[in-house]
């Protein structure tokens, strides 16, 4: 197979050199002029100089996976062992436990060499010094841009991405057979003309708010939660202030007054209303498609229309693999990821085991022959990775509360937005 990272033979040679500097030697030695030991034996026997092949690579890998992804990683590991002789042990864990366990064990020298994980864990991993960088050897172009951005921090790549997920506009094709308009307000007018109970439904998170689902509309006003650096990574500068943020807040309040949005809607209610045919359009993720098709709804998936004139960029979640900062086999781990996971075969197997959108472009284009997958892929290509910086954890409560108060009408949009920005400034320092 074509190798694009540090070859195992080099790793084996390094191990051999280390071995030559330790332990007993077969011949007598004496110091050279630099104080190093040199062999003074006569030439070895002919049979001892016969080429016995490259030495076997040393080391092993311990990998944490969840049950869904175990078979795909296991297959890649078997190929890796066959080619290199390096043993790979997989430990199956509940995905919900991996982040906390990795943070707890790596600083003690325990834990895996590699773990599966989500890109938005990266901020806490960086702060706690538990993750190492990954070298794709110039092959970043094989991945979707948003996937590389998701695992990047301060100009460095800290994981191998393999899958994406993003929300999109989902359309009931029986009620709305035509492609969705590119303007959000035009879509609402189409929904009203159809005459269902609602022109559109979305999970608002009830009275708690849910800024995640509304983020694409907000970014179309040019108001990202944090500003992005040129390489796609996030700065700690809040981007929701300024004219764009206030324009979004005003628009949100106006549409809520018109009945387009409601704090009566939770996730379950929004899903049920759409599944029952009470709205032609909704915003949701691929995880909701089965609920709709099981209810007999034929759906199409499109990118989210723009509300503010700019591209509507939803949050994109990226799944991938991290290398432990304490791994004694970091080069081997990098080789495994780059040459045995970052392949069409392994990426296809991962998609089949856990059907998210592949981050590996070649495989993404293959599975996008399915029109529903193609719609979510197009939405993710418009999107931006959810910020993985530690500051993101401090944003949600203030942000959700501001949007809920605007949608419910309990607070003036400008006042609510200004209060949110002030609270963020105090919280983030």
CATH number at residue 150: 3.40.190.10
Has residue 44 been placed in a domain?
no
- State how many domains the chain has: 2
- Regarding whether 153 and 218 lie in a shared domain, the answer is no
Average the pLDDT over 88-92 and give the result. 97
Token pair of 233 as six digits: 């990574």
Has residue 5 been placed in a domain?
no
- Regarding whether 108 and 177 lie in a shared domain, the answer is no
For the segment 310-348, what is each residue's pLDDT rounded down to a tens digit?
999 999 999 999 999 999 999 999 999 999 999 999 999
Has residue 148 been placed in a domain?
yes
- Regarding whether 417 and 357 lie in a shared domain, the answer is no
Angle between helices 413-428 and 396-408 (to 10 degrees): 170
pLDDT band at 363 (very low <50, low <70, confident <90, very high): very high
- Regarding whether 130 and 116 lie in a shared domain, the answer is yes
Asked whether residue 1 carries a pLDDT value surpassing 90, the answer given is: no
Asked whether residue 272 carries a pLDDT value surpassing 60, the answer given is: yes
Q: Distance between terminal CA atoms of the chain?
A: 51
- Regarding whether 331 and 281 lie in a shared domain, the answer is no
Has residue 55 been placed in a domain?
no
- Regarding whether 257 and 113 lie in a shared domain, the answer is no
Q: 183: burial class by Cβ within 10 Å (0-12, 13-18, 19+)?
A: middle
Has residue 51 been placed in a domain?
no
Token pair of 317 as six digits: 């979640």
Nearest to 171, CA basis, from 429, 379, 403, 406: 379
**Cα–Cα distance, 362 to 10 (Å, whole number):** 29
Quickly tell me which residue has 């919900």 as its tokens.
96
- Regarding whether 195 and 131 lie in a shared domain, the answer is no
The model carries a pTM of 0.83
**Cα–Cα distance, 3 to 15 (Å, whole number):** 20
Has residue 114 been placed in a domain?
yes
CA dist 218 → 74, 86, 312, 342, 402 (Å): 41, 49, 8, 34, 13
Asked whether residue 52 carries a pLDDT value surpassing 70, the answer given is: no
Instruction: Characterize 269-283 residue by residue with b for buried, 16 or more Cβ atoms within 10 angstroms of its Cβ, and e for exposed.
Output: ebbebbbeeebbbbb
- Regarding whether 414 and 347 lie in a shared domain, the answer is no
Average the pLDDT over 281-298 and give the result. 97
- Regarding whether 339 and 245 lie in a shared domain, the answer is no
- Do the Cβ atoms of 118 and 315 come closer than 8 Å? no
- Regarding whether 159 and 92 lie in a shared domain, the answer is yes
For the segment 366-422, what is each residue's pLDDT rounded down to a tens digit?
999 999 999 999 999 999 999 989 899 999 999 999 999 999 999 999 999 999 999
Has residue 88 been placed in a domain?
yes
Has residue 369 been placed in a domain?
yes
Quickly tell me which residue has 């003309």 as its tokens.
193
- Regarding whether 326 and 267 lie in a shared domain, the answer is no
Say what the pLDDT of residue 38 is: 38
Task: Give the structural domain span for 211.
Answer: 168-313+395-428
CA dist 170 → 221, 249, 374 (Å): 21, 24, 12
**Cα–Cα distance, 222 to 401 (Å, whole number):** 21
- Regarding whether 422 and 370 lie in a shared domain, the answer is no
């Amino acid at each position: 197979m074509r190798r694009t990272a540090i070859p195992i033979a080099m790793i084996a040679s390094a191990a051999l050199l280390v071995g030559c500097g330790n332990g007993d030697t077969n011949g007598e030695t004496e110091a050279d002029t630099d104080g190093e030991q040199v062999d003074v034996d006569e030439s070895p026997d002919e049979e001892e100089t016969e080429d016995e092949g490259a030495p076997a690579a040393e080391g092993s890998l311990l990998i944490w996976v969840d049950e869904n992804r175990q078979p795909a990683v296991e297959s890649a590991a078997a190929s890796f062992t066959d080619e290199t002789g390096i043993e790979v042990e997989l430990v199956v864990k509940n995905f919900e436990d991996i982040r906390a366990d990795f943070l707890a064990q790596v600083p003690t020298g325990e834990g895996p060499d590699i773990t599966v994980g989500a890109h938005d864990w990266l901020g806490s991993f960086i702060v706690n010094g538990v993750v190492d960088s990954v070298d794709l050897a110039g092959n970043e172009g094989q991945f979707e841009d948003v996937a590389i951005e998701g695992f990047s921090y301060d100009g460095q790549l800290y994981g191998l991405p393999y899958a994406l997920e993003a929300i999109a506009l989902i359309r009931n094709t029986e009620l709305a057979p035509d492609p969705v308009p590119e303007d959000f307000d035009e879509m609402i007018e189409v929904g009203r003309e159809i005459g269902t109970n609602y022109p559109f439904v979305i999970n608002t998170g009830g009275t708690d708010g849910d800024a995640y689902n509304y983020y694409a509309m907000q970014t179309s006003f040019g108001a990202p939660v944090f500003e992005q650096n040129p390489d796609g990574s996030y700065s700690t500068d809040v981007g929701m202030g300024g004219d764009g943020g206030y324009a979004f807040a005003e628009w949100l309040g106006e549409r809520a007054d018109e009945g387009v949005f409601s704090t009566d809607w939770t996730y379950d209610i929004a899903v049920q209303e759409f599944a029952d045919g009470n709205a032609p359009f909704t915003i949701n993720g691929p995880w909701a498609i089965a609920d709709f098709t099981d209810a007999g709804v034929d759906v199409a998936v499109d990118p989210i229309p723009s509300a503010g004139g700019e591209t509507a960029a939803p949050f994109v979640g990226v799944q991938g693999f991290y290398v432990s900062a304490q791994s004694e086999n970091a080069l081997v781990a990098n080789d495994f990821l780059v040459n045995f996971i970052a392949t069409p075969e392994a990426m296809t197997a991962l998609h089949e085991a856990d059907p998210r959108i592949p981050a590996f472009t070649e495989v993404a284009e293959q599975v996008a022959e399915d029109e529903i997958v193609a719609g979510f892929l197009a939405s993710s290509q418009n999107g931006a990775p959810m910020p993985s910086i530690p500051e993101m954890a401090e944003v949600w409560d203030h942000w959700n509360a501001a949007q809920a108060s605007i949608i419910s009408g309990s607070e003036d949009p400008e006042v609510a937005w200004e209060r949110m920005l002030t609270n963020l400034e105090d919280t983030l320092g």
